Amino acid sequence: MKIMKFISVAVIGLLLGVGNLSAQSNFITNVNGRTHQSLNGKWKYILDQYETGQIGFSPLYKNSKAKSKSDRVEYSFDNAQTLWVPGSWNSQKEELYLYEGSIWFRKTFAYQAKHKNSRIFIYVGAANYKTTFSFNGKKLGEHEGGFTPFSFEVTDLLKEKDNFLILGVSNRREKDYIPAMVTDWYNHGGITRDVKIVEVPQTYIDDYTLVLQKESVDKKSRLVYGSIQLAGADFPAKANVEVPELGINTSIVIDEKGRGEFSFTSKKMSLWSPENPKLYNVMLKAGEDEITDRIGFRTIETRGKEILLNGKAVFLRGISIHDENPIRRDRAHSMDDAELLLAWTKEMGCNFARLAHYPHQENIVRLADELGILLWEELPLYWGIDWKNKEVLEKAKTQFGELIRRDKNRAATIIWSIANETVPGKARNHFLSEVASYVRSQDCTRLLSAACRKDGAEDNPGNHYKVSDPIAKILDIVSFNEYQGWYGGAPETCRNKEYTIEYNKPVIISEFGGGAIEGFHADKETRWSEEYQEYMYQENLAMFDKIDGVVGLTPWILVDFMTPLRQLPDVQDGWNRKGLVSESGAKKKAFYIMQNYYKKKKEQYK
């Protein structure tokens, strides 16, 4: 504990970033570690293609005596059909397969608080894209962003029975949204993740962070510093943090704003890594509130062109993943979905996964913690973003704040990525610089990257390519996508390509690959055959091995996925076929190329 006198309160606050999040981001965290009840199941719904529920167009409202729009919408649910929550409407009703617009969902339920004087929140894991939240006839607010959680307090409105929750969800695409008008994945609409009633005391633990100090990794006694933030009133003078397995029981002084900072040291702490994904039960207590989380302790940093995990160089044997269960043909939302995707990931020999191109469900992040899979997480700052729009910038900050608040205690998450395939320019560079600064203000313990643009052959005659995207100046890792042999030239052209990275930083090839139809076999020159994909992977890997500073790969992509952009008849039919696993779960030949390559890399980095 003596070491803490050398670390000021201001420094701890900067490192942890706790307490800086905007009010919009203050949803209930770690809901499974609290008293909760699921609201999943069948919900009634009303199609609202013309947005009449939002503007009050009278034909929808059959109850002329209703006092509010929510009352009128509630009345119109009497003979409504049902949809399953969580789940996208596109996957459940054939007539809704391509629907983009608004749907109003209603859930009725009874609930009796488990404890006296509890505060009651309703938590939504995600709803795509914009949600209007009403409870028992009162509109409580809106949430924008299709992949991050939100919650609203309903304590004063809750009844023991006949409660009705109405969520109006729109998946319309707009220029000032994130993502914007065009994406290369399916726009699943609806309430796509769990909905829960969450019960907490009047004063509760709103936020907490624990971080292993880098300098103590190689010392006999390892130092963890942390902070806790309470919400409510009448804050207790002290809180407590316990890690029973380490014999830690530390008191925390709480200030007048409900914030406390703490530290503890341990001589027997086991570091989290892919080879040893050790998690500890961490218990936080404050007044009447108590919460338990499973947390691993590790450090991540860079040194020149290396990435260091717990002070040792690591090669990121990765794969890109979409948050989609291809067999159900729907957005992933369950632990079963997470287990399916990460089982394939582990089978390939990966220690790393890029969760593309938006925040994935929390289950997959927590499972990665348990399995020892490092993660890259990102926001859909993608094609067509309105870089000059200050409101869009604020949306990006809010959505990143929500993602960081949810996942900052997960040892698996080592990289926040701020963009994918965006074109350099003054407005874009400024926008992403602002996002990078914001992310670091919330969490400077992880690395920043982005899928940068590389200069093409038109800028560099011959076979020489250069990565000089100006945004890379502010990143910790330089990443770029390369589809040589698929979008440019035959696979054998990879042999003559050379790359110059303008920055003395680690490099990740964030995407590469090409399409193949599972079960279609031909010679290696025939496109869409498994043999062509296999050959292309062999040539790509040999090309990447020659690039100085490459310390990780995340080929595109683990599984074939749904996308309206891919419409080549009898080949794509609405699917991106670049997966190493087909939508039916069959592994293509290139899967085994990566598996063998990663076996060799694992041996090299022992």
Could you read off the pLDDT of 414-454 as tens digits, one per residue? 999 999 999 999 999 999 999 999 999 999 999 999 999 88
Are 227 and 344 part of one and the same domain?
no
Are 157 and 207 part of one and the same domain?
no
Are 174 and 234 part of one and the same domain?
no
Q: How does the average pLDDT of the chain come out, rounded?
A: 91
Predicted confidence at residue 514, as pLDDT, reads 98
Number of domains in the chain: 3
Element (H, E) at 158: none
* Tens digits of residue pLDDT in 102-161: 999 999 999 999 888 999 999 999 999 999 999 998 999 999 999 999 999 999 999 999
* Tens digits of residue pLDDT in 533-580: 999 999 999 999 999 999 999 999 999 999 999 999 999 999 999 999
* Tens digits of residue pLDDT in 31-46: 999 999 999 999 999 9
* Tens digits of residue pLDDT in 270-282: 999 999 999 999 9
Domain boundary residue, one of 164, 183, 200: 200
Q: What is the CATH number of the domain that holds 152?
A: 2.60.120.260
30: left (phi over 0), alpha (psi -120 to 50) or beta: left
Q: Name the β-bridge partners of 131.
A: 143, 169
Predicted confidence at residue 245, as pLDDT, reads 98
Are 319 and 285 part of one and the same domain?
no
Task: Determine contact, residues 129/193, Cβ cutoff 8 Å.
Answer: no
Residue 553 DSSP SS3: strand
Residue 68 belongs to domain spanning? 34-200
Length of the chain: 606
> Phi then psi for 536, rounded to 5 degrees?
-60, -40
Residue 404 DSSP SS3: helix
Rg (CA), the chain: 25
Are 364 and 430 part of one and the same domain?
yes
Domain boundary residue, one of 155, 173, 200: 200
The tokens for 102 are 């608004």
Nearest CA-CA partner of 317 in 22, 599, 606: 599
Q: What is the CATH number of the domain that holds 240?
A: 2.60.40.10
* Tens digits of residue pLDDT in 363-378: 999 999 999 999 999 9
What value, to the nearest 5°, has the Cα angle with vertex 102 and ends 97 and 107?
95
The tokens for 507 are 């490099």
Residue 354 pLDDT > 70? yes
| Lowest model confidence (mean pLDDT) among 1-15, 134-148, 243-257, 318-332 | 1-15
Predicted confidence at residue 26, as pLDDT, reads 76
Please give the average per-residue pLDDT across 453-457, as a whole number: 70
**Does residue 29 lie in a domain region?**
no
Domain boundary residue, one of 168, 200, 232: 200
The tokens for 252 are 């925390």
Band the pLDDT of 248: cuts 50, 70, 90: very high
**Does residue 74 lie in a domain region?**
yes
**Does residue 53 lie in a domain region?**
yes
Are 224 and 173 part of one and the same domain?
no
The b/e string for 13-23 (b: 16+ C-beta within 10 A; e otherwise) is eebbbbeebee
Are 472 and 545 part of one and the same domain?
yes
- Give the Cα separation of 313 and 271 in Å (integer): 15
Are 236 and 196 part of one and the same domain?
no
Are 232 and 248 part of one and the same domain?
yes
Are 556 and 426 part of one and the same domain?
yes
The tokens for 247 are 């014999």
* Tens digits of residue pLDDT in 49-73: 888 775 443 334 444 445 555 555 5
Are 14 and 41 part of one and the same domain?
no
Q: What does the DSSP assignment read for 418-472?
A: EEES----HHHHHHHHHHHHHHHHH--SSEEEEEE--B-TTTS-TTEEEE--GGG
Residue 94 pLDDT > 70? yes
Q: What does the DSSP assignment read for 369-384?
A: HHHT-EEEEE----TT
- Give the Cα separation of 110 and 114 in Å (integer): 13
Task: Determine contact, residues 363/387, Cβ cutoff 8 Å.
Answer: no
CB neighbourhood size of 161 (10 A): 9
**Does residue 519 lie in a domain region?**
yes
Alpha helices in 239-379 (DSSP H): 335-348, 362-371
Q: What is the CATH number of the domain that holds 503?
A: 3.20.20.80
Nearest CA-CA partner of 368 in 343, 349, 401: 343
Task: Determine contact, residues 535/522, Cβ cutoff 8 Å.
Answer: no
**Does residue 27 lie in a domain region?**
no
pTM of the full structure? 0.93
Task: Determine contact, residues 440/400, Cβ cutoff 8 Å.
Answer: no
**Does residue 28 lie in a domain region?**
no
Band the pLDDT of 460: cuts 50, 70, 90: low
Residue 337 DSSP SS3: helix
Are 210 and 196 part of one and the same domain?
no
Predicted confidence at residue 63, as pLDDT, reads 44
